[in-house]
């Protein structure tokens, strides 16, 4: 399968009730959608996600949605698949289900907990993949193998350093000896589910970016600044780009802090992409 590097353009003839024709030219890096409440920021994001979710099981890209008229252009144009992640930031209580009843960890109680639970497996798979790459390099006979193997592990180390830095004011640190995500705080071992909502939220975002393993992904985020304090909001986009510089970020926001660290040129107002 040939994966797309990013979404180049979207065209939504009718955003809702026959109103608002949206045409948005996206850039490969950071795309921040801004606007007043009710203008359609989240609706636009949700329509894009719904279109991608409804692609055939084969993964083949279908630029046009015959039922809604939505069209989406990808780069390169002959791509047959696309990788994407979705991060929701509202930490509501989970609705009980038979599936959730089977969970062994009773601390999984909210939507952020559930995202962390799923990311635990992804984090383990990521570490296995990095380890396999390092072994392959070290046994390849390449004279530069040791340096390349070290480089392969740098991003994970950087992730650990970032999280330790963000959580330093509360004395929390990631347990670097554990393959699973857990923390220590003044000698006490903590599971990620007992973190504050803001800590869980930033952990979900950064862990998602890390486990994309520097592959081209589209990362959709709807108001990711919710629950994050001011300084974390300012650093958020830069940290994501550091962990995966090949990700195309598409996010909505109400917060000026998200763009303060050099992302003003990445902002698009809903009114600027509305034709009628």
Provide the pLDDT for residue 32: 97
Report d(CA 9, CA 27) in Å as an integer.
9
Residue 8 buriedness (CB in 10 A; 0-12 / 13-18 / 19+): middle
Q: Where are the beta strands (DSSP E) in 204-258?
A: 217-222, 247-252
Provide the pLDDT for residue 98: 47
Tell me the mean pLDDT per 10 residues along the chain, length 276: 94 81 96 88 91 70 69 92 86 50 62 90 93 86 81 90 96 92 93 92 96 96 90 96 97 93 95 87
For 245-268, the pLDDT digits (tens) are: 999 999 999 899 999 999 999 999
Q: Is 23 helix (H, G, I), strand (E, B) or coil?
A: strand
User: 1-83+215-276 falls under which CATH superfamily?
Assistant: P-loop containing nucleotide triphosphate hydrolases (3.40.50.300)
Q: Is 256 helix (H, G, I), strand (E, B) or coil?
A: helix
Provide the pLDDT for residue 65: 62
Q: What is the DSSP letter of 96?
A: P
Q: What is the DSSP letter of 71?
A: E
Whether the model clears a pTM of 0.95, i.e. scores above it, the answer is no
Report d(CA 207, CA 120) in Å as an integer.
9
For 5-18, the pLDDT digits (tens) are: 999 999 999 887 76
Q: Where are the domains of the chain?
A: 1-83+215-276, 94-214
Residues in the chain: 276
Contact 240, 206 (CB under 8 A): yes
Provide the pLDDT for residue 99: 47
Mode of pairing for the β-strands spanning 188-190 and 183-185? antiparallel
Rg, Å, the chain Cα set = 20
For 44-66, the pLDDT digits (tens) are: 999 999 989 887 655 567 666 65
Max CA pair span of the chain: 63
């Amino acid at each position: 399968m040939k994966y797309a590097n990013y979404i180049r353009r979207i065209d939504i003839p009718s955003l809702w009730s026959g109103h608002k024709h949206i045409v948005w030219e996206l850039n490969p890096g950071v795309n921040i959608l801004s606007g007043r409440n009710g203008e359609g920021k989240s609706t636009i994001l949700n329509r894009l996600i719904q279109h991608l979710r409804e692609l055939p099981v084969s993964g083949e890209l279908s630029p046009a949605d015959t039922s809604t008229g939505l069209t989406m252009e990808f780069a390169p144009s002959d791509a047959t698949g696309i990788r994407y992640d979705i991060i929701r930031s509202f930490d509501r209580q989970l609705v009980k289900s038979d599936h959730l009843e089977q969970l062994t960890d009773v601390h999984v109680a909210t939507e952020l907990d559930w995202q962390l639970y799923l990311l635990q497996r992804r984090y383990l798979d990521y570490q296995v993949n990095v380890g396999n790459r390092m072994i392959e390099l070290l046994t390849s006979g390449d004279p530069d193998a040791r340096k390349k193997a070290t480089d392969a592990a740098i991003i994970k180390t950087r992730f650990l350093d970032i999280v330790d830095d963000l959580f330093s004011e509360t004395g929390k640190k990631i347990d670097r000896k554990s393959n699973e995500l857990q923390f220590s705080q003044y000698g006490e071992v903590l599971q990620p589910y007992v973190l504050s909502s803001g800590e869980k939220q930033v952990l979900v975002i950064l862990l998602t970016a890390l486990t994309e393993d520097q592959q081209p992904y589209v990362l959709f985020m709807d108001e990711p600044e919710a629950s994050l304090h001011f300084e974390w909001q300012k650093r958020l986009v830069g940290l994501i780009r550091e962990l995966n510089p090949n990700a195309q970020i598409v996010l909505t926001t109400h917060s000026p802090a998200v763009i303060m660290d050099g992302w003003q040129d990445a902002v698009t107002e809903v009114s600027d992409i509305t034709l009628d």
